[in-house]
Structure formats: C-alpha cells, structure tokens
Amino acid sequence: MKPAGIKEIKASLEGLDQEELVEHCIRLARFKQENKELLTYLLFESTDEDAYISHVCEHISEMFRDVNKSNVYYAKKTIRKILREANKCIRYSGLEVTEAEILLLVAAEIRKLDLPMEKSQVLQNLYAGVLKKAKKCIMSMHEDLQYEFMSRLEQLS
C-alpha cells in the first residue's frame, strides 16, 4: 500500500469534524510507541520547552549513569542507544535550541565517562559526529545564541 502525501493527508484531515479527528489520533497512538510519545510532546510538553529540555536532559544523564564502562564495546553500544533516544527527542521538538542543548549535554556526558577514546576509533567518531551535528545546529541560530552555544562547544572540543 502506497501512503498518501502530506498535502493530501492535510486536506483530508481539514475536512473531518473534531470527533473523527480525535478518533484517528487515538487510533494512530495505539500502533507505535513513537506516535504516542510524539502526541504526548505535542499535547503536554510543547507549551513549556524549557521544562521539556530539562526533562530530556535528566533522562539522558540517567541513561549515562548506567553505561557499562568495563568494556569499550558495551560502552559504545549504550552510547549509540542514548544517541538514538536523544535524536528522537530532538525530532519531536524540532527547535534548534532544544537540539543544541541536548547534543551538548550528550557530548559533555561522553567526556565525563573517561573512556579510553584514543583506543577506539568508533568512540572518537561518535563523539566527533555529535560535535559536528551540534556545530551545524548552532550555526543556523541567531548570533546571540550562537555565541553562548559556541563557547560551550569549544569547551568540549
């Protein structure tokens, strides 16, 4: 089955009454965890972005506390899992400030782990990728925000 385009879906949704729209949203939320998480963000957390950022940062910091540092292989796998979670939260928000805050937190938490980065090229690439993505995001911000975030990014480099 080929899905309809966004334009077609938007036009169809605009023609629905409120009860049908609510029914479709609830049905959509039943199918996937990500749909439910996105609806939760849109309905409850999108109005207070600072609280959302702090909630996500707490969650990510908690995940970093559980990283198995005894073996670099397990640490890499856990960091990748954390990055997937962080990217999902960034995708829900779609705001550059949220993306920069979360990525800088991830980079800082990776540095705090004190893993032997020089022994693992994969860890070096993960860390460099996070910094590169953060820098790209920061460069698209307003100049005042750029200065603040760039100084934090330079401390991590």
37-66: burial string, b at 16+ Cβ within 10 Å, e else: ebeebeeebeeeeeebbeebbeebeebbee
- Per-block mean pLDDT, blocks of 10 residues, the chain (157 long): 78 84 84 86 86 92 89 89 93 89 92 84 90 90 83 83
What pLDDT does residue 37 have? Answer: 86
pTM attached to this predicted model: 0.84
Rounded Cα distance between 38 and 126, Å, is 26
